[in-house]
Amino acid sequence: MSRSFQTPGRSAVYSTRAMIATSHPTASLVGLETLRRGGCSVDAALAAVAVLCVVEPAMTGIGGDCFAIVARPGAAPIAINGSGRSPAGADLQAAIDGGLRAIADNSPLAVTIPGAVAAWVRLHADYGRLPLSEVLEPAAAIAEAGYAIAPRVAWDWSHSVERLSRNPAAKARFLRDGAPWREGETHRQPELAATLRAIGRQGRAGFYEGAVAADMVRALRAEGGVHTLDDFAAQTADYVEPIGARFGGHDILEHPPNGQGATALLMLKAIEDWPAWRAADPAERAHLFIGLMRRAYRLRDSAITDPATMRVSLEDFLGEPAMDYVRAPGADAGVLPWETDTTCLSVVDADGMAVSFINSLFLPFGSTILAAECGVMFHCRGTSFSLDPLHPNALAPRKRPMHTIIPGMVMKAGRPVMPFGVMGGDYQSAGHAHLLTRLLREGLDLQGAIDAPRFFATASSVQVEEGFDPAVAAALVARGHILRPPPAPLGGAQAVWIDHDRGVLIGGSDPRKDGCALGY
Burial 424-442 (b: 16+ CB within 10 A, else e): bbbbbbbbbbbbbbbbbbe
50 burial via Cβ count (<10 Å: 0-12, 13-18, 19+): buried
User: DSSP alpha helices (H): ranges in 104-189?
Assistant: 116-127, 132-145, 151-158, 161-164, 168-174
Contacts of 105 (CB under 8 A, 6+ apart): 163, 362, 363, 366, 367, 368, 380, 383
Contact 431, 495 (CB under 8 A): no
Q: Is the dihedral of CA 393, 403, 338, 167 positive or negative?
A: positive
Query: Would you state the pLDDT for residue 332?
Result: 63
Query: Would you state the pLDDT for residue 339?
Result: 58
Query: Would you state the pLDDT for residue 231?
Result: 98
Q: Over the chain, what is the mean pLDDT?
A: 95
| 342 among known catalytic residues | yes
Confidence band for 458, pLDDT divided at 50, 70 and 90: confident
- Cα 72 from Cα 292, distance rounded (Å): 33
- Name the pairing type of β-strands 462-464 and 483-484: parallel
- Cα 419 from Cα 439, distance rounded (Å): 13
Query: Would you state the pLDDT for residue 335?
Result: 59
191-241 pLDDT, tens digit each: 999 999 999 999 999 999 999 999 999 999 999 999 999 999 999 999 999
Backbone angles phi, psi at 408, to 5 degrees: -135, 155
* Amino acid type, 354: A
* Rounded (10°) angle between helices 261-272 and 282-303: 140
Contact 287, 266 (CB under 8 A): no
From 34, 305, 342, 437, active-site residue: 342
Burial 53-85 (b: 16+ CB within 10 A, else e): bbbbbbbbbbbbbbbbbbbbeeeebbbbbbbbb
- Cα 152 from Cα 430, distance rounded (Å): 22
348-397 pLDDT, tens digit each: 999 999 999 999 999 999 999 999 999 999 999 999 999 999 999 999 99
Confidence band for 9, pLDDT divided at 50, 70 and 90: confident
CB count in 10 Å sphere of residue 281: 11
Residue 338 reports pLDDT greater than 80:
no
